[in-house]
């Protein structure tokens, strides 16, 4: 069953229904970044099972705001994706606008009108994580998460950088590739609450240069160069909304996949990894794919929510998507363990002010 799109709608002040057009000849900045090639370097491994993640129930953030299912209007669909299985847009009322226009099972939304970083920290991030933990998303295929917050709290640019840099590894471990779409231009001649164009540019520059694991999508300069139309100075008409959406898809499709020697197939209850050149199933080994590593057992079945023990004694943990965890704590069997930068479980050392013993458990 298709996962339902999530939106929290918050009443905003009424705005004028005026329409204005703007077009300024500004050069488009090329979006930077790219996929990282991942090596192997893992030893032969044996398996030990474990499934200690808390089940996620009905959505709701407990803040009194309703979680509404908002079907798309069917005005336009997502173009074919090159190598992403799913796309999630995270944002404010402008992202809600995109949701209203898109009806495609490959695209989901976590968005709330009139909101910013405090909303995302309070409830948006939990909704995003629950979406990623749903059955549709627990696959080895990569997902794109596109953030587009900031127009309502431009002054918080440094807080955005700090929080998202801390959050990025957790999302990467859930098989996500991260993007930040620029805060897009406004028409201050008719907008109810003016936003300084300089503040928007400063915010965008911070997102572009200071976010460590994000690819930047420069829709701001694209719209300045190509033109845009608003309905109230802040929100865009249907044509501009579609233009933004199509440009974003074009940008994420332009990135080259890092791994061409793996083909995934879902059969029965399991995912299997194939060598596309020979048709052989990979077995009893680590498989590198899109910057992550996945373990397949002697039958070729991808392991999930499991500890993998290498011949050296090092232990690694693979999550619900099958990707091995790095640089974060994991809770299994009621105990916390820390997975280091290389994925190996830490032992006999201090981590973040806590000591982990010889079995790796936090004391």
pLDDT per residue, tens digit, the chain (363 aa), is 433 344 433 333 333 333 333 333 222 223 333 222 233 334 334 333 333 222 222 223 333 333 322 333 345 666 666 678 889 999 999 999 999 988 888 899 999 999 999 999 999 999 999 999 888 887 787 889 999 999 999 999 999 999 999 999 889 888 898 999 999 999 999 998 999 999 999 999 999 999 988 999 999 999 999 999 999 999 999 999 999 999 999 888 876 544 456 778 887 788 888 887 677 888 889 988 877 889 999 889 999 999 999 877 899 999 988 999 999 999 999 999 999 988 999 999 999 999 999 999 999
What burial class does residue 254 get, using C-beta atoms within 10 Å of its C-beta: 0-12 exposed, 13-18 middle, 19+ buried?
A: exposed
Instruction: Note the Cα 263 to chain centre separation in Å.
Output: 22
pTM of the model: 0.62
Q: Residues 281, 264: contact at Cβ < 8 Å?
A: no
Q: Strand ranges (DSSP E) for 92-225?
A: 107-112, 143-148, 176-181, 214-217
Show the tokens assigned to 357.
């013993």
């Amino acid at each position: 069953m298709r996962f339902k799109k999530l939106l929290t709608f918050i009443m905003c002040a009424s705005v004028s229904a005026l329409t204005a057009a703007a077009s300024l000849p500004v050069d488009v900045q090329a979006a930077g970044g790219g996929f990282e090639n991942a090596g192997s370097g893992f030893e032969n491994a044996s398996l030990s099972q474990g499934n200690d993640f808390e089940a996620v129930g009905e959505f709701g953030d407990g803040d009194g705001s309703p979680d509404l299912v908002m079907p798309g209007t069917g005005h336009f669909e997502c173009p074919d994706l090159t190598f992403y299985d799913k796309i999630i847009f995270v944002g404010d009322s402008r992202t809600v606008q995109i949701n209203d226009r898109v009806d495609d099972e490959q695209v989901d939304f976590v968005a709330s009108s009139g909101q910013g970083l405090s909303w995302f920290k309070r409830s948006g991030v939990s909704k995003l994580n629950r979406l990623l933990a749903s059955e549709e998303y627990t696959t080895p295929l990569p997902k794109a998460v596109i953030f587009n917050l900031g127009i309502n709290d431009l002054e918080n640019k440094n807080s955005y950088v700090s929080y998202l840099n801390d959050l990025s590894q957790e999302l990467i471990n859930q098989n996500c590739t991260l993007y930040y779409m620029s805060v897009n231009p406004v028409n201050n001649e008719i907008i109810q609450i003016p936003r300084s164009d300089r503040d928007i540019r400063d915010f965008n520059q911070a997102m572009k240069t200071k976010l460590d694991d994000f690819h930047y999508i420069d829709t701001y300069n694209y719209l300045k160069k190509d033109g845009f139309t608003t309905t109230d100075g802040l929100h865009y008409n249907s044509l501009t909304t579609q233009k933004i959406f199509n440009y974003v898809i074009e940008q994420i499709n332009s990135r080259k996949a890092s791994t061409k020697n793996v083909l995934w197939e879902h059969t029965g209850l399991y995912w299997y990894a194939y060598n596309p050149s020979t048709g052989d199933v990979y077995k009893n080994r680590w498989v590198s794919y899109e910057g992550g590593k996945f373990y397949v057992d002697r039958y070729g079945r991808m392991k999930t929510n499991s500890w993998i023990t290498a011949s050296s004694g090092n232990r690694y943990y693979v999550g619900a998507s099958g990707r091995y965890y790095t640089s974060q704590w994991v809770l299994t069997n009621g105990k916390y363990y820390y997975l280091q930068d290389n994925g190996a479980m830490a032992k006999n050392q201090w981590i973040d002010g806590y000591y982990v013993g010889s079995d790796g458990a936090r004391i």
